[in-house]
Structure 1
Amino acid sequence: MADPVLSVRDLRVRIGRREIVRGVSFDVERDATLGIVGESGSGKSMTVLAATGLLDAPGAVVTGTSTLGGASDAVSTQLVGASPRTLREVHGGRIGFVFQDPGTSLNPLLTVERQITESLEAHRNMTRRQATDRALELIEAVGLPDPQTRLNSYPHQLSGGQRQRVMIAIALACDPELLIADEPTTALDVTTQAQIIELVRELQRDFGTAVVWISHDLGVIGQVADDVTVLQDGQAVEQAPILDVFDRPQQPYTRELLESRPLVGDQGPPPVDSDAPVLLRVDGLDVRFAVSTPVGRSTVHAVKDLTFQIRRGSTLGLVGESGSGKSTVAGALTGLVEPHAGSASLDGSDVFGVRGAAAKALRRRISLVFQDPYSSLNPRMRAGAAIEEPLRVHRLANGKHGRRKRVEELLELVGLPGGFASRYPHELSGGQRQRVSIARALAGEPDLLILDESTASLDVSVQARVLDLLADLQRELHLAYLFIGHDLAVIQRMSHDVLVMRDGAAVEYRPAAELFDSPEQDYTRELLAAVPPSRPRAAVSGD
């Protein structure tokens, strides 16, 4: 048997007095994919960054060994403690990296061509002409349409999925022995995620590259990995082939990760009384934006003649890919976006046409929870102050003591101790920050809560707990939800009715049970097919 492409033994990372990574060992074989899975803070990225010599945290001390090479005719290189010169030769040349957010990984001032040719000129000593020809081949290999035009594009001119394909092209430019994919699909739609997963598998077959795929979602790991290392608190708690992890998990933590995955076919929410009154009614919503382009002003038709309704105590799932117009609908309902045409009424009160005090009173009845709780909370404001702000604005509690007591009640309502009021956002976990955001949204005592991808950035186990919390709050407070998402498994779990959008228009609008049992439109079936299944790919393919 050939030596592994990467062999890591007793890897440890200490920052100050705290040991972040504790004695992790693993091997990555040629043509194989190792999945590293765990929740945020488990040490996944820290482990791989330390193993590849890319960790640059102040005061970090890395011990153990990490050996690259030994497969085929590769030169064996010790990465832990390697010199900067050695690491510069290895990074980009023998190890390629694809990170979670291509928007921050790509240089906004350089064209796609220059960002690909840079590593070819540095590591393969190619001329500019040779590097450009190779860049064009790579753009074609990763499946970008109109490759020549894409080479001359800047990152902001590409979609999220296209930017991630460019990152993969850059990572594979020098035919690396090892590809590190750190949450490369977390920020993408399920359909784009499925395309990226398949693309990496095809390129792995073509180039023979070993892959380390990092994720918090065992459903994604099941579609890409041959072997799995499960990390918890910086320690490998389970290491086994993918089928063994799915069929015979040995650790409670692994079983928790498996049970937390949202799956199409899971039971939806309990039915709502058929006589429940309609709370929100939207008719013919039309939203257009004027944008500047290289050839002049243009108009983007973001939402096209959209009609729907939400009953009290029920949830409407609004689903579609990025750019389908979902968040624009939320913006129109909350006054952040001016609609071009259409009407909306909340309990008979006009939503779009009101001004002044009437608009302020109406906005209190519609609250919005965003996707990223860290960026939606003021980093300089304690959690209690953030929750108290709507109470002051809308005069919903009497005096300072009354507001403080109401803040404690809201924190308890979302499952947090009252003492969390004194904490800043950076002192909270992702799930705790989202609970604070929900408490803040509930402070105005709304009738309708709009949840815009509010669990998409969370670990699957944390996501499951937040979804349970939302279901409990709906029952207790008789809230109506507009639940916006791109993952149909999550939408099914939460929704009574589902509206599927594409390019700003309604594709399918039906009760959730009917839509999931027998989708009528090809696009809906495509979204359903893109959700990672309950069984790993190896079980289906017989690999």
Structure 2
Amino acid sequence: MSAPTLAVRGLRVRIGAREIVHGVSFEVHREQTLGIVGESGSGKSLTVLAATGLLDAPGAVVTGTSTLTGSPGTVELVGAGARTLRTVHGGRIGFVFQDPGTSLNPLLTVGRQITESLETHRNMTRRQAQGRALELLAAVGLPDPQARLHSYPHQLSGGQRQRVMIAIAMACDPELLVADEPTTALDVTTQAQIIELVRDLQRDTGTAVVWISHDLGVIGQVADDVTVLRDGAAVEQASVLRVFDHPQHPYTAELLEARPVIGSSAPPVGDTDAEPLLVVDGLDVRFDVHTPVGRTRVHAVRDLSFSVRRGRTLGLVGESGSGKSTVAAALTGLVRPDAGTATLDGADLIGARGAAARALRRRVALVFQDPFASLNPRMRVGDSIAEPLRVHRLARGRTARRRRIAELLELVGLPAVFADRYPHELSGGERQRVSLARALAGEPELLILDEATASLDVSVQARMLGLLSRLQSELGLTYLFIAHDLAVVQRMSHEVLVLRDGAAVEYRPAAELFAAPEHEYTRALLAAVPPQRPRVRADRR
């Protein structure tokens, strides 16, 4: 076998007196994909950034070796100077990160961000680079690539921005592509398209790929070999099929066990005779958006009707842009619908004004996907939870508020001392529990969960789903559960409503829908979910 494209040996990373990465070794060959998997804080990204010379942390000391082999020669990346790394990054190593919104320059057009790399690393003229950029946008499947050359990142969807990032990363035909959680924020069908796109580009160019993820389901779809990291150490390294079929380390087995899989759990059984709490009839939402060709009017939600029975969960699923979050915004007063009604226990939720509106809003709470963005970084946890208590006058006086804050933290499985911490001092799962405690502070009847577990590690997600099920049972809560992960929806939902382009395409009891989906779009969503066991890829046989 030829020399590996990237060979990492005994990599250690120390920041100050603390060692973060402990002697990690791995290698990846041409046309091969190495999956690096682990939970948040396991050292996945830090390890790969250090190995590729991209780690820029104050006081960081990197030891060991990391060798990039290929044309025009072999380069030792650990300890390499800035000039050497500038020629490698973007030219011989391409990077695709989790959030294209923060990776792309909002002030430059898509075309300019691709041509920059080509002019720098391949000495192309502006005309040559633009021609190559157009080819790349077509290769990554971006619709109307000629128009998109002149678009800015904010004018593209999340999936389209990620395709642009892949085009930039692959512009110079790199020997190594580093994909760091590139599909975490995407819906299942877009995720499947991005995975297939990387496979096609890899097959055409022979690029070696290092794919970082906390989701073993995704790793099972893309990787040939897997390295499992925990607390900065490699606890298991084997082929992807061996890892799935015969995990050797208990931590690997835990990750596999925590992963939601279609069919691994039956939908919950609830009270089918309960009265509807939320009734939505003919909801219609339109709004103006600016596009590269001018302003256009988007029909985000189309004549949508559904109901949620008290104490039960309705799963609302669909791809990005299907209108799921717009429904949540309309029900919570963040967006004014053009038509339709919504009632909560018979009271008008949309048309209410003044004191009646405030009283109704207290009965509906919303939990967002990103808890770090939804919590004020300058406020302590206790102050964030106390805010709805003060607004709705539910606990008068400092002593009563502190007692209620402690009760709410205990309810979501956190100790009372967390009230004095700031959001940055908590993990992602802990921050989401705080967001849930704040939502529960108003004693709501309806909880709208908008991708509330999408950004969490699989084990943290499993615990969060268990917590939500327990709270529903204990408090009689009603959930509108918005998600793109159908395995999670199956675990949580009594009924499921499938949205496409703002319209309902299927609305049935969860058990019936998952057993025999009727609409081709629902079947396509289910087919895009990673399987329980990796499929053997034809190009790897």
TM bracket (short chain): over 0.9
The answer as to 2:4 corresponding to 1:10 is no
In the alignment of these two chains, the number of paired residues is 541
For 2:155 and 2:358, how far apart are their aligned partners in 1?
A: 37
1:268/1:495 contact within 8 Å kept: no
- The alignment partner of 1:188 has SS state of coil
2:33 aligns to what? 33
The answer as to 2:443 corresponding to 1:445 is yes
2:130 aligns to what? 132
1:48 aligns to what? 48
2:260 aligns to what? 262
1:393 shift after superposition: 1.2
For 1:335 and 1:356, how far apart are their aligned partners in 2?
A: 13
For 1:288 and 1:200, how far apart are their aligned partners in 2?
A: 35
Residue of structure 1 aligned with 2:348, choices 340, 347, 350: 350
1:238 aligns to what? 236
For 1:448 and 1:224, how far apart are their aligned partners in 2?
A: 39
Assess, with a 3 A threshold, how the Cα gap between structure 1 residues 540 and 431 changes in structure 2: closer, same or farther.
farther
2:92/2:172 contact within 8 Å kept: yes
The answer as to 2:445 corresponding to 1:420 is no
Residue of structure 1 aligned with 2:456, choices 458, 472, 477: 458
Structure 2 letter corresponding to 1:192: T
Residue of structure 2 aligned with 1:219, choices 207, 217, 220: 217
1:508/1:520 contact within 8 Å kept: yes
2:468 aligns to what? 470
2:42/2:229 contact within 8 Å kept: yes
2:506 aligns to what? 508
1:296 shift after superposition: 5.6
Residue of structure 1 aligned with 2:526, choices 512, 528, 533: 528
1:119/1:173 contact within 8 Å kept: yes
1:75 aligns to what? 73
Matches within 5 A, 1:86-97: 86-97=84-95
For 2:87 and 2:460, how far apart are their aligned partners in 1?
A: 39
Matches within 5 A, 1:23-422: 23-69=23-69, 71=70, 74-292=72-290, 297-422=295-420
1:522 shift after superposition: 0.8
1:124 shift after superposition: 1.3
Superposed CA RMSD in Å reads 1.4
For 1:339 and 1:431, how far apart are their aligned partners in 2?
A: 33
Alignment deviations for residues 252-285 of structure 1 (CA, whole Å, 9 cap, x no partner): 1111111111111132343112211111111111
1:145 shift after superposition: 2.1
1:498 aligns to what? 496
2:308/2:314 contact within 8 Å kept: yes
1:462 shift after superposition: 0.7
1:36/1:231 contact within 8 Å kept: yes
Structure 1 letter corresponding to 2:55: L
Alignment deviations for residues 65-119 of structure 1 (CA, whole Å, 9 cap, x no partner): 10110x5x55111000101110001111111111111111111222222211111
1:294 shift after superposition: 6.1
> 2-11 vs 129-138, which deviates more?
129-138
Structure 1 letter corresponding to 2:297: T
The answer as to 2:431 corresponding to 1:433 is yes
- The alignment partner of 2:536 has SS state of helix
For 1:194 and 1:315, how far apart are their aligned partners in 2?
A: 27
Alignment deviations for residues 369-408 of structure 1 (CA, whole Å, 9 cap, x no partner): 0000001011111111111111111111242211111111
Assess, with a 3 A threshold, how the Cα gap between structure 1 residues 108 and 428 changes in structure 2: closer, same or farther.
same
For 2:293 and 2:181, how far apart are their aligned partners in 1?
A: 37
For 2:538 and 2:306, how far apart are their aligned partners in 1?
A: 39
- The alignment partner of 1:526 has SS state of helix
For 2:289 and 2:187, how far apart are their aligned partners in 1?
A: 24
> 117-126 vs 486-495, which deviates more?
117-126
- The alignment partner of 2:488 has SS state of helix
- The alignment partner of 2:2 has SS state of coil
2:268/2:492 contact within 8 Å kept: no
The alignment's TM-score, normalised by the length of structure 1, stands at 0.97
* Structure 2, unaligned runs of 5 or more: none
1:314/1:479 contact within 8 Å kept: yes
Alignment deviations for residues 466-495 of structure 1 (CA, whole Å, 9 cap, x no partner): 001000000001100000011111111100
> 295-304 vs 391-400, which deviates more?
295-304
Alignment deviations for residues 476-516 of structure 1 (CA, whole Å, 9 cap, x no partner): 01100000011111111100000011111111111111111
Structure 2 letter corresponding to 1:49: L
For 1:292 and 1:177, how far apart are their aligned partners in 2?
A: 38
Structure 2 letter corresponding to 1:315: T
Q: Percent identity?
A: 78
